[in-house]
Structures are given as structure tokens and as C-alpha cells.
Structure 1
């Protein structure tokens, strides 16, 4: 049974103000065009011949971009920008793009940066705001991290946050963050609705894990893969230079193994990729450790990538959550390192194991050119959406088009590596690892080996 989604976008009201952006409404005149609300993108580009069902508005994504008529009077706008959660390459690029688009394209002169995430709204912290102008933000894209500072938590204090937004007279808030941030943004929007305020809530999805549903790619992902590939190169050199050398690299990926899989494809030097979506066992004749031993026997070295969310179902004994609402995970990297060493020590086999966890080095890096371009366009699209009075909206890329996505639908689920899809198939081709490293494949599928006759 197919799942039905509603991709309709909410608006604050009728757009009646002529945009200060001079653009065209016709094709072929070499002048950039306005985007209309009749331009859409389908979720799937795949088609089945002979089957063409009617397409409803709720089934398609609204194209992002500047509208001919806008909702807000630019001279009256006070815009806020906040970045929340962990660091990610490209945050500063997004901030810069939003500020410059609002300033130069619409003439908005009041733009405030909210410092240290949602906590910046809470009076008990007294962080204050940071004035944002093109002169202030022009060079921040050269830096990693976030110019505004970031923090986890605070997003549940919706009443206090909206109180602060009212005191600041904000008309729009741009939230740069992951699914926890955007859930908080949705809650804030609900409080705004209850107070009958006219404040646009626009989200720019941020996660190096690339696990936002429906969105083709999250910003920072390309940079993360590029940096991770450099680490793998170092791990491979260490492993290749030692007697039975093993390079073990832990990469980001709480619930999804996209960075691990893409890094393996980018580096061409990885022999095993362990991700949350694909079950595997350590011991037994078809377990990971046996296959690692076989690899050392035949090639004398090995490189292993493990995503941080792998094996958590086996490692977590008590569920605890951090300030952002994420489950606190056990360190699978050090656990795996110890288990590998114990296995070969017990067999009397000499190994030289090098373990690398580059997570925070990757997260804090400045954006690579491909991400910088992407962030610039995301920030521009976010500014256009806010000025048009769109709300509860995330900006993302779908089928190579920038679109508006409803927050509620996007945060309802996460994207995962499909064990039967082409990305994982290509990863298996790149690593030559076994398709499934479990001793009872049917047990892995059904979850209980004892139930299999």
C-alpha cells in the first residue's frame, strides 16, 4: 500500500505588495522570471508506461523562488536567523545568503542573528542578538562552524520563544538546523498560530547525515564526504604500511549510513562498511570478524568504516536523551576497536590497528565549493519564501529543483540507506564485502533465530 502525503504549503495571507525585484513574466526575453504558484515538481521522476493517474496539488512540491507579489512590506520587516544543534559545513554560507538576498533584493534593513540556538530567545541566558548586514557577513563563508553560535535544546520553551519574538517584533524567522530544530520550529509556529500572529517560519534543513526525508541532499554533505575520504586515505596508508594493518574509521550517521556509503564510493580504498540499516554480527563463520581475518590472510591489510549509529541496538542498555531530544549513543568505534583486538589476540595473530574518529574535524570545516553553491541557493530561496508569506516551510532540493516542503511532512520520518537499493549495491561492489554478514540470514530478516524452522 502506498503512503499518501500532503505537500500543500501554508501562507500567512494574500500577497498584494508588488515585489521590488524587477523580473519578467514571459519566456525568451533574457530576463530572469518570477516563479508562480502553478509551478510544481513531482516527488518521483520515475514513470510507468501506460499508467498516468491524475495528479493532485497535494501530491507535488511547490517550486521555490521569487514571486511577483509579496506579503510583507520590506521596510517593515524585522527578520531573525537562528542556527541550532551540531555544527555542519555551510551554516555560515546560508546565513550570508539570507542576509544578502533580503538586503539587496528586497531592501530589508533589520536583520538580527539569534545567538546560540533557541536558547538565544530565552531571557534567563541574556545572550542578546547580533545585527546582520552585508558588511558584517560578507566573509563568514570562509569560516567553519556558525557565526551565530549554536546550542542544543531550548526549542520546547515555545511560549518564552514566541514572547521574545513578539518583543523583537520579528516578522520572519529562519531556522537552520536538523529534524529536532525543525520540530521545534513547527511547535513555535503552532504557538504563533494560537496567538494569531503573522510571522513566517522558514527552515533550512541542516544535517551532515543527509537523512531528511524527501530532500535530495542536505547542505554540508558533500563537504563531509570529501573530508571523510581524506581520512580514509590516511587510514589506508597506515594499514597498508603495517603487518596485518587495519584502519578503522568512525563516521557520522546516527540512523543513516549515507556518509559511510558515499565515502567508500569516493575513496575506493574501503573493504568493509558497517551502517545502522544493514544487520551484521561480529562472531561466527559468517560474522564480520571472520571476514576481516580472511581479508588479512589474502591481502595483508584492511580498511573499515563504521557509522556511529551501527550496533546501537546491541550496545545501548538504558535509553537516555540529550538536550536536543536525540538518543545518547554508545561509542561503537572504540567498542569495535576493542573487539577486533581481542579477536586477533585470542588467535595469536599479530595486527596493527589504527582507529580514527574525525567527526568534529569534519563538522567544523568550511564548506566545499559544491556545498557553498548549494547553500547560497538555499538561502536565497528561503528569503524569497519568507517575503512571499510562506510559513511552516522547509527549503530543499527535489529532482534538481529547489522547492517548498511542508515541515510537518518532512520531520515525520527520516531517510535511510535502502539495503536493496542501488546505493548499497554499488557500495558492495566497491568494497567486495559479503552481502550480509550474519550467520542466519532469515534470523536477521525476522529478528528471532529460534522462530526459524
Structure 2
């Protein structure tokens, strides 16, 4: 982390692309998240932040002048450092993440890379689009930010509230900029989907293709990478256009194919360079985002590539941190309700019947929690965040016995990550085991023949389709503007550009001390198994 004394506005570059024969200058202040340290009241935050960003804007104007009369990279750095007296006081800024913002020129670099012929930033082609007629507020200002935390205890005696007033995390607001870094005629974009199936995956791919084509006029430059990261080096990329993806949003699954594993950093970046890709869009979960962050780092390390790497987080479990929610989650909750309803009917139809519904959620039980709250037909909800035990006073079977005695049936919802420590496994076996099959066998051995359901990949519902569209378009706007190493997502209802590695490492488990989990227990009347009985 940079200290306040090291904070500065400077230029990195030039960075050369062999395919596009372009020169990229990087403004290091174009950061996606800042931590502001202040000694004044919160109302002054906005003005001081804008002062600092205004200095960045002035530095970018100076960068344009450097393009016209470039000096050596070292000289460029020295020329644009902030003097300590130029920093806003008493506010200081410490950088937590860096986001690159680049401008490309059509002239080849000199052999030494020290000089280049320069061109002005490219006006956004959306401004000339006959169907848009952008209003003055259509384009996003570089000073617009989205705050991560908007709730705190404002009482003077609150230490937590004081810390939040003094440290504010913010992200660049997503959306179209007045100027872009890529000429639409030179864009070669690669789209890759990785990980498990998730409703809305095909919608995201479709909207990336349609958005690049219809918004920015990219023709013949969008490609799909088949079967995850390994497709970069093991298969030829598939050309995509709006006609090819027209109906993809109506189907579940992953039309491009998806897989886990196969990540070979050197071979992937070699393939990106060989194919001349200058934009990469990765759609996947936390592992995919970690891979994309490594691709971003390797592209920067090689220096000669000008590639924007953007991510769109995909996890049906809704376990990715920082963002409000991941796409497909609402669709899965809706489908889970249908599975619960079927399990309820099956349980009611049998004497002393137990309906067992296994739902997705390896590391977080959000689907099980929300489906239980929405259904109201559930007698017990088991999630990975809460341990339970089967036998003995106060155990799961004791609770189900009493519930069946009262109602004649019971419905159990279990997230697939629940109860992993209870499932017998061989020595050294750390594999993820099927809690549904194990619990079904245990229930059968106990007294019942349960009905088992598990929701599968389904097409996204209307709400998720719209959400996928907006996420894809936000990613396009960021990449076209020259941002890289970012994820597009919503924070407090606003679309933002978030550092890729921050999203990759953040988790979003169910908060069992939150009012939602308390409401689940009040609906099901299930006990607190850990406090009520044994732990094994």
C-alpha cells in the first residue's frame, strides 16, 4: 500500500502493442478504489476528493501535451510527480489498487520506445450514434465515485463510526466516457466463460457481443473462447456477431462451453498476443477472477501489450464479496422455490414423509436461506455456515421426529456445502462430498424414504436478464475507455469498476447473526444445533 507521502500523479509508459502498432500511456492515478484519510467532518469529503481528482484531470491534460512532445519515460515520471505542497490537506489519499487508463495512437513506436508520434484521445462513437442522442448527463465524469460503505453509527461516542468517517473506500462509477482509448476498427475482443453453470451466462456473452457491435461499431472483431481458459491455447476462437448470439439469452447452460482448470498463464498470454486480442472479458467466479488478475499482471509485465482485461463475476451461490449480488442468483432462488414446492407435495403425499431438497451453495447458503424465506414450506434449513448433528437429544432427527408427529410430514432444505465434516471419508480425502446423497441415506436408515430434488441450470429470469445486460455494457464501457484489471459490479445499487484482485479474494458468507437468519429460524422453529447438543 502506498503511504500518503508516496501518493502522486505520474505516467507509466510507453507500452507497445506489436499487433496494433500503438503506444499506450498509463495514468497511474486512474485508480478504482481509494482510501481517504481525513481530519474534518464528512461533508467536506466530496469537495476534497474532487479537488484531488481535478489534479488528476489536469495531469492527464499534461499527459496529452507529453504525447505531442514526448520525453523519456523517466522524464515523464519526474515531470508529473505531485509536489508535497500540491496535495490536498488535511485530506490525504493512500492508494490500495491501481487501475490503468490508456490512450492508443495509430503511429508505431520508435525502436527505443522512448518517443512516439501522438494522437488526441478518441471521441466516444456513442456521441454520434443516431439512436442515442446523449444528454449532458449521459457520459460519466471521471470525478464520479461510488462509496462502498454508506451506513455507520454517526454518534460522537461511536469508535466504529469515527473510523468510517475517517476512512472511506470508493470506486470509479461505471458507464460510458466522453473519450475512449480504442479505435473501434482495431478492437479484437475475446470472451471466455469459466467455472460452473449459472443462469444468465449466455445473456452476458450475448450483450458483450451486441454491445461492442451496436454501441461502439466493432465489426468482425469479437471472438468467443471455447471451454474456459484452456480454450485460449487448445482451440481456435469462434467469431461472434449479433446474428450468431441473437437467441442465446433464452437458453440455460453455457453456449461457449465452460470448464474448471486448464489455466496456463504463459500459454494464455502467448495466445492473446498471437491472436492480437486487445480486450479480454472473463466471466466466472472467484477462481476465474484470480486467473484474470494474473493475466492482467502478466500483460503489464511483458510491457509490449496494450490489453484491457475486464471481469464479470459469475457465481450462482452469491458468495462473491464487495458487490451487491451476482447475476443468476435471483433466478436460482425462484427455481429453488419450485423445487421446494415439489418436495412439499411429495412429503405430504406419503405417510410420515420427508421432502429433502438439495440446493446449490458450497461455501455460502444464500440460496437456501432466501428460498426458505420465500417459500414458507420449509421445516429445517441447513447451510454451510451453521454446523448440525443428526442423532441425540436436540439433533436433526429429534427435531424432525417432533415435526412429523405434529404435521405428518417435514421438508428439509440443505445447501450442498452443509454438513461436510459429518460425512465419512477416507484418510486424507479432502474432496467435496455429496451431502444430498449422504443425508438421504441417513434419513432412509433412520425411518423415512425422502424425495430429493436439486435445481439445475435454467434460463435467467427477466430481472437477471436485465442485470446481465447492464453488467456487460458496464464492462464494455470500461474496457473501451482504457480501464483494465477491473470487475464490473453493483455497490449499493450503483454500477462501479472494482479492482479484480479485491473481488477475487473477498467472500460473502451468510451472516448468521443477521436478522435474515434469525427470521429463518423463527419460521422453521429449528433449534440452534450447536448449542443444543453434541458437535459430532
Structure 2-normalised TM-score?
A: 0.74
Which aligned pairs between 1:69-108 and structure 2 lie closer than 5 A? Answer: 69-108=179-218
What does residue range 367-446 of structure 1 map to in structure 2 within 5 Å?
367-434=460-527, 436-438=528-530
CA distance in 2, matches of 1:285, 1:100: 59
Whether the aligned pair in 1 keeps the contact of 2:147 and 2:168 (CA below 8 Å) is: no
Alpha-carbon separation, structure 2, partners of 1:215 and 1:37 = 21
Contact 2:336–2:359, Cα closer than 8 Å, also in 1: yes
- Decide whether aligned partners of structure 1 residues 30 and 413 sit closer, same or farther in structure 2, where only a CA change above 3 A counts: closer
Give unpaired runs (5+ residues) of structure 2. 1-33, 36-94, 105-120, 156-160
Which of the pair has the greater relative contact order for Cα pairs under 8 Å at 6+ separation? 1
Which residue matches 2:102? 13
C-alpha distance in 2, partners of 1:166/1:414?
33
1:332-343 to 2 correspondences below 5 Å: 332-343=435-446
1:253 corresponding residue in structure 2: 361
Q: Please say if residues 175 and 185 of structure 1, whose CA atoms lie closer than 8 Å, have aligned partners that are also in contact.
A: yes
- Tell me by how many angstroms 1:39 deviates: 1.2
Provide the residue aligned with 2:143 in structure 1: 38
Unaligned runs of 5+ in 1: 321-326, 345-350
- Kept in 2: contact 1:89–1:220 (CA 8 A): yes
Separation of aligned partners in 2, 1:54 and 1:152: 39
How far apart, in 2, do the equivalents of 1:285 and 1:216 lie?
Answer: 39
Q: Is the 8 A contact 2:152 2:164 kept in 1?
A: no
Structure index of larger Rg:
2
Q: Which of 397, 400, 405 does residue 297 from structure 1 map onto?
A: 405
Correspondence 1:353 to 2:456:
no
- 1:106-117 alignment, distance < 5 Å: 106-109=216-219, 110-117=221-228
Counterparts in 2 of 1:38 and 1:317: CA distance versus 1, 3 Å: farther
Output the CA distance in 2 between the equivalents of 1:36 and 1:397.
18
Give the distance between the partners of 1:391 and 1:115, measured in 2 at CA: 22
Measure, in 1, the Cα distance between the counterparts of 2:426 and 2:97.
Answer: 41
Q: Secondary structure at the match of 1:118?
A: coil
Distance 1:86 1:22, change over 3 A: same
Kindly tell me the number of residue pairs found equivalent between the two proteins: 416
Evaluate the alpha carbon distance shift between residue 147 and residue 313 of structure 1 in structure 2; reply closer, same or farther with a 3 A threshold. Answer: same
Query: Matched residues in 1 for 2:96 and 2:137: separation?
Result: 26
Q: Deviation string for 1:172-196 (max 9, x for gaps)?
A: 1000111111111111112111111
Work out whether 1:48 is the aligned partner of 2:153: yes
Aligned ranges 1:189-208 → 2 under 5 Å: 189-196=296-303, 197-208=305-316
* Superposition map of 1:274-293 within 5 A: 274-293=382-401
Deviation at 1:49, TM superposition (A): 2.2
| Higher deviation after alignment, 4-13 or 415-424 | 4-13
Matched position secondary structure for 2:244: helix
1:69-128 Cα shifts (integer Å, max 9, x gaps): 111122111011011111111011101111111111111121011111111112xx3x21
Distance 1:11 1:56 in 2: 26
Output the CA distance in 2 between the equivalents of 1:262 and 1:54.
30
Please say if 1:223 is aligned against 2:334.
Answer: no
Q: CA deviation at 1:381?
A: 0.3
2:288 to 181, 193, 199: 181
Partner of 1:153: 261
More moved, 37-46 vs 208-217:
37-46
Indicate the SS of the match to 2:243: helix
Q: Which moved more, 1:159-168 or 1:33-42?
A: 33-42
